[in-house]
Amino acid sequence: MAKPRRPLSEVHAVHDQVYAAIRDALLTGRIEPGRGVSLRTLAAELGVSPMPVRDAVRRLVAEHALVINQSNKRLSAPSLTPSRLEQLARARDWIEPELAARAAPAADEALIDTLRRADDALNRAIAYGDVHAYMAANHAFHFTLYQRADAEVLLAMASGLWLQIGPFMRIVFNRLGAVNLTRDHHVEVMQALTAHDAEAARAALAADIAVGMDALRATALEGADLGGAA
């Protein structure tokens, strides 16, 4: 007897969950630049068949978050060339401060309390050298703020940029250490939100982005491997 097919909605749910899991691995740097991974390995780690992994990978390649090495079919983050780094820095500087400015008028105590908890988690992660917790908390801080902007197009663009930056921020954490990550401007961002000051929020967020991108440039200058597919 033929095995009954799963409902289409259930199949779609699995594909979406696999996409979200791989996307989260990129955002938190668990898929590292220069270390290729196979579809089969990803499927085994996620406990699914290769089909939903293949579908998720196609989507992420289209979003410029993954590349496939055609010689061995392994997946990795794209190479971060000087030109690509500067483009990502410029795009982040255009988009993310605007999201912060748009969020400021709608900021309330609940939002600021959530941001403060994320920032506390980030600082604990730095103190303990926990790269996974740091990446997760930093993403939570920024995107909790960005979602309050109620700007779907800008939010989607910021999300795509972080997919491309995430794997390399892990290298920054490991290479430069925690000291270089304590100079963020999250406190200034929260102060601007408390005052509903859109321009102050814009400036604080721009300064925060500059810290991260400067750290990436410094890592590249120190000779770290920011290459892609292996």
Under DSSP, is residue 105 helix (H, G, I), strand (E, B) or coil?
A: helix
52-73 per-position pLDDT tens digit: 999 999 999 988 888 888 777 7
pLDDT of residue 3: 43
117-148 core/surface letters (b: 16 or more CB in 10 A; e: else)? ebbebbbebbeeebbebbbbbbbbbbbebbeb
Contact indicator for 211, 138 with CB cutoff of 8 Å:
no
Q: Which two three-digit tokens encode residue 28?
A: 């938190």
- Per-residue pLDDT at 5: 44
Instruction: Give which of 144, 167, 152 is closest to 22, Cα–Cα.
Output: 167
pLDDT digits (tens, 9 = 90+) for 10-53: 556 888 999 999 998 888 877 777 677 888 888 898 999 989 99
Distance CA 140, CA 170 (A): 16
Question: What does the pLDDT read at residue 201?
Answer: 98
Q: How buried is 96 (Cβ within 10 angstroms: 0-12 exposed, 13-18 middle, 19+ buried)?
A: buried
Predicted confidence (pLDDT) per residue in 79-99, tens digit: 778 888 999 999 999 999 999
Delineate the domains of the chain, giving CATH numbers in brackets: 8-76 (1.10.10.10), 82-221 (1.20.120.530)
Three-state DSSP class for residue 70: coil
pLDDT in tens, 109-162: 999 999 999 999 999 998 888 888 988 999 999 999 999 999 999 999 999 999
| Phi and psi, residue 107, nearest 5° | -70, 140
Look up tokens 């990446």; give the residue.
135
Looking at residue 67, its pLDDT comes to 86
Task: Provide the whole-model pTM.
Answer: 0.84
Residue 75 φ then ψ, to 5°: -105, 150
